[in-house]
Chains A and B, each alone.
Chain A
Amino acid sequence: MTRHHDDDREFDAFLRGEDDLSSLLRQAPQPEVPPELDARILAQARVALARAALAEPAHAGREAANDPAPVPWLMRMRVPLGLAATVVIGVSLSLRWTGWQEGTPVVLVSDSTPVASSSPPAAAAKPEAPVAAAAPRGQHESGAAASGSAAPPVRARPLPAPAPVTAAPLEEEVRPPPPPAPAPMAPPPPAPMALPAPAPAAPTVFYRSPPPAPAAPAPAPAPAPAPQAAPKASTHVEVTGSRIARSDAAGTEPRAEQWLSLLTELLDRHLDDDARDNWARFRREFPDYPVPPSLQARIDALQRTP
């Protein structure tokens, strides 16, 4: 019994490291981790943790070694990112297109021949206004031959190089002055924009769906949105690809002439609803402006048709 108790005490002392044998064991030289192995293991952990931090916690959601490996972040986000990109592109395109207000005629000539659009609301004087206003009148009338009507003041200034649609932001409004001897509106080179151009030699008229006939055309997209307060002030908006140039025009007459030429164009293209709508708005703005008899006859005929 005593021997058993002695054995227990001896064993307890051994476990606690208080007897001679355990101190002998603990004093004995033991293998030590080589410093280079230390460094290797720590570096390995550092790299592994950094890699895991980059690719999301690799252990997240893995309860067992044979669980499927987590899908990489980029793979998981592929669909949401694609949808987000589509939405962003769609919204930016629609914003751009909504700038060309319903009912506001937009004449797209090409990227190298600026598109002119009439927009009744006046904007504050722009720095580039003098440039546009200083353009010789002959230039404005150069597109008349192409449209086949009486001298429409379509502003067409050939640019040295076409600007891609998304190349320049709207704020980039610095435009070179028109060349001293502009070429007449020759058939422009194919426009890079993927827009229909039925008559390459003539200005292409784009309209959105038949407008709800507002009292005045809505302001065109411009760096500074034009307020509705001054509908009579004349403002020209040139749209060339992504560039929009607005400038105060010389006066009311060129605008009326331009509008008439566009009406002619609409009639030529049998866009009856648009022509009807534009005619109504034209008359509201220019109640007494003389209209060429041939055009008046066509409009009268149009008004008679349902």
Chain B
Amino acid sequence: MSNAPSDEALALRYRDGDLAAFEELYRRHSRGLYQFIAWRSPRREWVDEVMQDSWAALHQARGRYVASASFRTFLYQIARNRLIDLVRQDRTLLESELAGGHGLAALADGQAQGGTPEEALDARQQTARLHRAIRTLPDEQREALVLQQFSGLGLEEIAVLCGTPLETVKSRLRYAMRKLRTELATETTREA
């Protein structure tokens, strides 16, 4: 059993000015938050900026944090609101851009090479198919999927973050799962 302090305990220490608590929180959540922002951001160049803004805003808002709320929800809410603000401000965004995750295409190309060249090619193609399939998901389903599968949030946390009932979150995830399966199967069949 781990004796590591909970996020909430760390957040309270951070609220009182404990830098080490902040560093631990950052270590735990920076990766998941970055993935969430990267998948949700319409533009690749916004990702780093939103990431930095979110942690800075967390610092400003840390006095409002109360231990009864999940720290992770609190943090992701800040980033989510920032993204929503950016999207509202930028009226030049294309409908296709709003699907987010456009900067992630390069990830497939830069995927770690392993095994034979044929195996590496297969892996890249599979990643590309997966990314395309995710981008075809409706916005709410994609958000729930990213939060649950990539960022590791629980269903209740997603419900709080998105302001929807728990059953709605489950439903979104169920639809997302089915659609991904279908998309991946279709693409595999098409390529075959």
* Interface of chain A residues 194 through 230 with chain B (CB within 8 A): none
Looking at A34-42, A113-121, A143-151, the stretch in contact with chain B turns out to be A34-42
Does B9 belong to the interface (CB within 8 Å)? no
| A62–B64 alpha-carbon span in the complex (Å) | 8
Contacts of A60 in B (CB 8 A): 63
CB atoms of B130 and A33 under 8 A apart: no
A59's contact among B48, B51, B64, by CB below 8 Å, is which?
A: B64
Contacts of A15 in B (CB 8 A): 148, 155, 173
Contacts of A22 in B (CB 8 A): 149
CB atoms of B64 and A41 under 8 A apart: no
Contact with B along A69-83 (1 / 0, CB 8 A): 000000000000000
Does A63 belong to the interface (CB within 8 Å)? yes
Contacts of A181 in B (CB 8 A): none
Does B112 belong to the interface (CB within 8 Å)? yes
B127's contact among A29, A38, A62, by CB below 8 Å, is which?
A: A29
If A42-B26, A48-B59, A59-B63 touch, does A29 touch B110 (CB 8 Å cutoff)?
Answer: yes
Contacts of A166 in B (CB 8 A): none
Does A30 belong to the interface (CB within 8 Å)? yes
If A29-B112, A37-B52 touch, does A63 touch B17 (CB 8 Å cutoff)?
Answer: no
- Closest residue on chain B to residue A14 by CB atoms: B177
Does B126 belong to the interface (CB within 8 Å)? yes
| A51–B16 alpha-carbon span in the complex (Å) | 13
A45's contact among B19, B131, B155, B181, by CB below 8 Å, is which?
A: B19
- Interface of B, secondary structure class, is helix
B19's contact among A11, A31, A46, by CB below 8 Å, is which?
A: A46
CB atoms of A44 and B55 under 8 A apart: yes
If A21-B181, A37-B48 touch, does A59 touch B62 (CB 8 Å cutoff)?
Answer: yes
* Interface of chain A residues 59 through 117 with chain B (CB within 8 A): 59-60, 62-65
If A38-B30, A48-B56, A62-B63 touch, does A30 touch B19 (CB 8 Å cutoff)?
Answer: no
CB atoms of A57 and B16 under 8 A apart: yes
Q: Chain A's nearest CB lies how many Å from the CB of B17? A: 6
CB atoms of A44 and B107 under 8 A apart: no
Looking at B31-39, B68-76, B89-97, the stretch in contact with chain A turns out to be B31-39
Q: Contact residue range for chain B?
A: 35 or more
| A38–B23 alpha-carbon span in the complex (Å) | 10
- Interface of A, secondary structure class, is helix
CB atoms of A45 and B38 under 8 A apart: no
If A22-B149, A25-B130, A45-B55 touch, does A57 touch B34 (CB 8 Å cutoff)?
Answer: no
- Closest residue on chain A to residue B155 by CB atoms: A15
CB atoms of B19 and A33 under 8 A apart: no
CB atoms of B51 and A33 under 8 A apart: yes
Contacts of A63 in B (CB 8 A): 64
Q: Which of B48, B59, B108, B111 has the most CB of A within 10 A?
A: B59
Contacts of B181 in A (CB 8 A): 21
A34's contact among B48, B177, B184, by CB below 8 Å, is which?
A: B48
Contacts of B31 in A (CB 8 A): 30, 32-33
Contacts of B148 in A (CB 8 A): 15
Q: Chain A's nearest CB lies how many Å from the CB of B103? A: 7
Contacts of A45 in B (CB 8 A): 19, 22-23, 26, 55, 59
B residues apposed to A, CB below 8 Å:
15-17, 19, 22-23, 26, 30-31, 34-35, 38, 47-48, 51-52, 55-56, 59-64, 103-104, 107-108, 110-112, 126-127, 130-131, 145, 148-150, 155, 170, 173-174, 177, 180-181, 184
A residues apposed to B, CB below 8 Å:
7, 10-11, 14-15, 17, 21-22, 24-26, 28-34, 37-38, 40-42, 44-46, 48-49, 52-53, 57-60, 62-65
16 A–B pairs (Cβ distance < 8 Å), ordered by A: A11-B174, A21-B181, A21-B184, A28-B127, A28-B131, A30-B31, A30-B150, A33-B34, A38-B30, A41-B30, A42-B23, A44-B52, A44-B56, A59-B15, A64-B64, A65-B61
Cβ-closest 10 pairs across A and B? A59-B63, A31-B38, A29-B107, A33-B34, A25-B149, A41-B55, A48-B59, A29-B111, A14-B177, A30-B35
